[in-house]
Amino acid sequence: MKRILVIDDDEGLRRMLHLSLAEAGYAVTEAEDGKMGIECLRTTPVDLVITDLVMPNKEGLETILELRKAQPHLKIIAMSGGSRTSPRDNLAMAKSFGAAFVFSKPFALAEMIKTVADLMGAATPGTAERVLEPQ
């Protein structure tokens, strides 16, 4: 069974992704910020990380850089609903740091699940080029 780590400080969104991904057949672990996410990965290996970018303690861009350093081939999806500048700036940076896909919040849950399935079947991480705009 493929394992996914969802990192987001929004408990409602984190829980919704957890339930939807579990229903789609994935084993899902949750963390409420990047610091907790990195700690989770030390004990539970995963195939994919879905991370928010704006969080307390350790934000998503820093988390992506740390993940890339430790596990260069780990598949990562980044998502953001806003920042001090604009969500597109953060999402573009996430892509340049190694996220395979980026989503602007809010996003269609079905599109996230499809993207996860596509990415889990992709031969090489980072091969997809998709930025999804809010619906």
- pLDDT, one tens digit per residue, over 39-74 is 999 999 999 999 999 999 999 999 999 999 999 999
Q: Is 126 left (phi over 0), alpha (psi -120 to 50) or beta?
A: left
Per-residue confidence (pLDDT) for residue 133, from 0 to 100 = 44
| Whether residue 99 has pLDDT greater than 50 | yes
Note whether 47 and 41 are within 8 A (CB).
Answer: no
Residue owning tokens 């290996």: 45
| Residues, the chain | 135
Q: Output the pTM of the full model.
A: 0.86
Residue type, 10: D
Q: Omega of the bond prior to 106 within 30 degrees of 0, cis?
A: yes
| Whether residue 124 has pLDDT greater than 70 | no
Mean pLDDT of the chain: 87
Note whether 103 and 78 are within 8 A (CB).
Answer: yes
CATH H-level superfamily of 3-121: Response regulator (3.40.50.2300)
